């Protein structure tokens, strides 16, 4: 097993085309993104602009007023004007101060997350605030100031006093694309394991080694090379280009590992298709770029558009799952969202890998 793994690693590293697409192309594209956007993806934390439609809930309006300045920029508007401002991007949300306060947003970025957290905090303490207003009106302002201490909130969603704009989505989608480009290695591995598709596979089929050992060594070597490529890409983005991934960067390692395995497993599935090598390469390129496009590689807000109109697509798109896992850790720091992304990504990987292993183990040839 060790002998096979060693020479499969050497063989994979010497594949110039696959090393270009798996390592050099993402680095080149990341550099072009940096030249286009600079380091504008990392900015100082700014207050979130929000419209307020007054509907009579004075307690909620007073609660919002205690946070105006550092956390929120509140502009009272009529409902129609507020909707126009939200559509034009002038505000990131609309608060309605009705008896049951509500919030309308147009996306799922960090600003919208802050607005949602503010509303949630108010709703959790609403009954207590009403009791204070009823029994001790003079103590209401002090209570509001106590409840509106959002120092912890700011710490959770920013990176050392910083936040990120939409340009960072391009880099997260780039990492998702790089992981999927492991499909080139996976498709080649499938070819080298099927005796009806390559001379090397014929020689491997007649050696006195168990079929499982041959398959496992081929897969492990492909996984290892792809994971190495992703680690090099991350180091380049962080240490050379200065892209920050936040203080919890160790949580990105499982994403990179699982994303690398997913890319290779996807390539294995494509490699099993009964068609010519050129057609398989075309499928890998077109499908990887399509999934990366839907994750925001060419248009940074595309993933949010998909989430609004066809959210199930983001749940089965590996590039979107990888990008969202990076966003969850680096910007939003939502561990539940992070774990869900990993679980779905793992399920996709297991299905692809098990299918390929079972199919490869059952193959037999009348003659070679």
pLDDT tens-place string over residues 277-319 = 888 889 988 999 999 999 888 886 788 888 888 889 989 999 9
Residue 229 · residue 313 · CB < 8 Å: no
- Burial code of 292-324, b = ≥16 C-beta within 10 A, e = fewer? bbbbbbeebebbbebbeeeeeebeebbbbbbbb
Phi–psi pair at 49, nearest 5 degrees: -75, 135
Q: Say how far residue 254 (Cα) sits from the centre of its chain.
A: 13
The tokens describing 258, both together, are 């699982």
How far is it, in rounded angstroms, from Cα 44 to Cα 291? Answer: 31
Q: Answer positive or negative: Cα dihedral of 341, 342, 343, 349.
A: positive
The whole-model pTM stands at 0.64
Label residue 359 exposed, middle or buried (CB < 10 Å: 0-12, 13-18, 19+): middle
Q: Which segments within 112-200 are labelled E, that is strand?
A: 162-164
pLDDT value for 161: 37
What pLDDT, on the 0 to 100 scale, is given for residue 204? 60
Task: Return d(Cα 94, Cα 53) in angstroms, integer.
Answer: 7
Q: Is 157 left (phi over 0), alpha (psi -120 to 50) or beta?
A: alpha
Least confident of 10-14, 153-157, 177-181, 333-337: 153-157
Mean pLDDT of 68-83: 86
CA pair distance 263, 268, nearest whole angstrom: 9
Q: How confident is the model at residue 160 (pLDDT cuts 50, 70, 90)?
A: very low
Q: Look at residue 70 and tell me whether its pLDDT is greater than 80.
A: no
pLDDT digits (tens, 9 = 90+) for 221-254: 888 889 999 999 999 988 888 887 777 778 889 9
Cα 209 to chain centroid distance, Å, stands at: 40
């Amino acid at each position: 097993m060790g002998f096979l793994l060693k020479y499969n690693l050497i063989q994979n590293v010497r594949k110039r085309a696959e090393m270009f697409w798996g390592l050099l192309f993402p680095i080149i594209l990341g550099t072009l993104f940096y030249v286009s956007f600079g380091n504008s993806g990392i900015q100082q934390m700014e207050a979130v602009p929000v419209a307020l439609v007054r509907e009579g809930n004075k307690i909620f309006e007073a609660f919002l007023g205690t946070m105006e300045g550092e956390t929120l920029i509140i502009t009272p508007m009529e409902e129609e004007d507020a909707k126009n401002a939200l559509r034009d991007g002038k505000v990131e949300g609309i608060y309605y101060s009705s008896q049951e306060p509500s919030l309308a947003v147009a996306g799922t970025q960090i600003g919208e997350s802050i607005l949602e957290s503010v509303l949630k905090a108010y709703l959790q303490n609403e009954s207590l605030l009403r009791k204070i207003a009823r029994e001790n009106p003079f103590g209401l302002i002090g209570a509001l100031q106590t409840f509106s201490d959002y120092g912890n909130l700011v710490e959770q969603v920013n990176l050392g006093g910083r936040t990120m704009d939409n340009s960072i989505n391009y880099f997260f989608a780039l990492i998702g694309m790089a992981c999927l480009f492991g499909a080139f290695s996976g498709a080649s591995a499938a070819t080298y394991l099927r005796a009806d598709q390559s001379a090397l596979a014929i020689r491997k089929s007649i050696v006195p080694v168990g079929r499982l050992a041959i398959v496992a060594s081929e897969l492990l070597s492909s996984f290892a090379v792809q994971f190495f490529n992703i680690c090099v890409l991350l180091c380049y983005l962080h240490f050379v280009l200065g892209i920050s991934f936040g203080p919890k960067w160790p949580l990105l390692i499982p994403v990179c590992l699982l994303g690398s395995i997913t890319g290779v497993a996807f390539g294995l599935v494509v490699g099993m298709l009964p068609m010519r090598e050129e057609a398989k390469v075309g499928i890998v390129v077109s499908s990887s770029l399509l999934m990366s496009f839907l994750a925001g590689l060419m248009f940074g807000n595309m993933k949010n558009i998909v989430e609004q109109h066809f959210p199930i697509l983001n749940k089965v798109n590996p590039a979107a799952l990888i990008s969202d896992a990076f966003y969850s850790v680096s910007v939003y720091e939502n561990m539940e969202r992070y774990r869900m992304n990993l679980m779905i990504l793992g399920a996709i990987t297991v299905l692809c890998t098990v299918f390929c292993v079972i199919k490869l183990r059952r193959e037999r040839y009348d003659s070679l």
